Each structure stands twice: as C-alpha cells, then as structure tokens.
C-alpha cells in the first residue's frame, strides 16, 4: 500500500517503529496528538481511519511488522489486536525461517561456485605446470597476470585453458604467448 511506501522514503513511521521495537503501534488518524501526522494525513485521504502495526518478533530480534488498516468509525477491537499479535508471533518465525533459508541457499550457491572455480583454476595450473614446467606458484602467477592483462576473470582464463586442452586444440595464441 502506498501508505507504507511513504514511511520507507522518510525512514520513519509506525510500521518501522513496530519493526524496530517489536511493540504494537496503534494509530487513530483523527487524533490531534498523533505521533505520525504525515501518515495520518495520507491515511485520511485514502479513507483509512485506524492503523495497527505489530512487530514480528523472534528471539533476540524483530524481523518486520504486520500492518492492519480499518476504514470504520470505531477503532479496531482489542480482541482483533490480540489476534494480530498472536498471528505476528507465528508469522515472525516463518519470516525469519524464510530469510534464513534464503541466506543459506545463497551461501551454498556461492560455495558451490567457489569450489567449481577453484577446481578449474587447479586444473589450469596443472596444465601449465606440465606444458611449461612451472611450479604451482609460477603457474598461478601467470594465470593472474593473464587475467589482469586481459581484464578477464581468473576463472574464465583457467576455463579457456582447460577447454583448449580437452578439445586437443592449443590455447589461443595470445594466451599462449602471454604464458611464456
């Protein structure tokens, strides 16, 4: 909802406060002493009369907030707010678990890519060591220099050396000359 977007732009608002503190923030947009006058003005224009923001708590942190809006003349009943708070405690765990899963999946993908990169770099080093009788350090230095000189990723350079060996074709002449 556009009411939420405004607070993100301003860096301040009832939802952000609930998310930071884990507290429940109840706003009557017609109250003269509202802590959120910009929100109250925008809410009235959108025909929202009351707002409740409930922090999504998990142990040692809060992972977001749940917002409820009403367009009634009466504020939300306490039992509705209590239900929202109960729901928020479960939703917080689900949101935290989804975030953890996403983080772990990303980490696993990064580790897989790193392992693949390392394997191809090690293969290319071995090829250079056999071809040019380099030490492991010299082979890596040559790969690094070629990567810098050609402005290409080290892994890509290594892959082209490995691919050139697999197809029984020499590595491209430019790469071969720079290796020596």
| Domain definitions of the chain by residue range | 2-76, 110-179
The pLDDT tens digits for 49-65 are 999 999 988 777 767 88
So what CATH class is 110-179? mainly alpha
Q: Is 52 helix (H, G, I), strand (E, B) or coil?
A: strand
What's the rounded mean pLDDT across residues 127-149? 92
Asked if residue 153 has pLDDT above 70, the reply is yes
**Range 121-138 average pLDDT:** 93
Report the distance separating Cα 15 and Cα 70, nearest Å. Answer: 15
Architecture of domain 2-76: 2-Layer Sandwich (3.30)
Exposed, middle or buried by CB within 10 Å (0-12, 13-18, 19+), for 93? middle
- State the CB neighbour count (10 A cutoff) for residue 175: 19
Q: Where are the alpha helices (DSSP H) in 26-172?
A: 37-45, 78-132, 136-150, 154-166
Nearest C-alpha neighbor of 63 from the set 87, 98, 39: 98
Determine the Cα–Cα distance for residues 43 and 119; give it in Å rounded to an integer.
57
Please give the average per-residue pLDDT across 99-104, as a whole number.
Answer: 87
The more confidently predicted of residues 92 and 83 is: 83
Using the predicted structure, report yes or no on whether residue 88 has a pLDDT greater than 60: yes
Is residue 178 predicted with pLDDT exceeding 60?
A: no
Reported pTM: 0.60
Residue 168 has what pLDDT? 53
The whole-chain average pLDDT of the chain stands at: 85
Query: How many angstroms separate the CA atoms of 121 and 161, rounded?
Result: 9
- State the pLDDT at residue 115: 86
């Amino acid at each position: 909802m556009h009411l939420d977007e405004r607070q993100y732009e301003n860096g301040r608002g009832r939802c952000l406060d609930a998310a930071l503190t884990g507290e429940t923030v109840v706003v009557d947009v017609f109250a003269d002493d509202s802590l959120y006058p910009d929100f109250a003005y925008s809410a009235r224009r959108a025909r929202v009369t009351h707002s409740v923001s409930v922090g999504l708590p998990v142990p040692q942190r809060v992972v977001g907030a749940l917002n409820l809006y009403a367009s009634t003349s009466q504020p939300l009943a306490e039992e509705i707010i209590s239900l929202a708070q109960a729901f928020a405690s479960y939703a917080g765990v689900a949101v935290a678990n989804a975030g953890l899963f996403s983080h772990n999946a990303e980490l696993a993908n990064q580790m897989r890519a790193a392992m693949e990169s390392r394997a191809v770099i090690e293969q290319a080093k071995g090829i250079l060591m056999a071809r040019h009788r380099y030490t492991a350090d010299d082979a890596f230095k040559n790969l690094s220099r070629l990567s810098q000189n050609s402005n290409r990723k080290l892994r890509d350079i290594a892959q082209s050396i490995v691919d050139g060996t697999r197809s029984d074709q020499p590595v491209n002449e430019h790469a071969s000359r720079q290796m020596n």
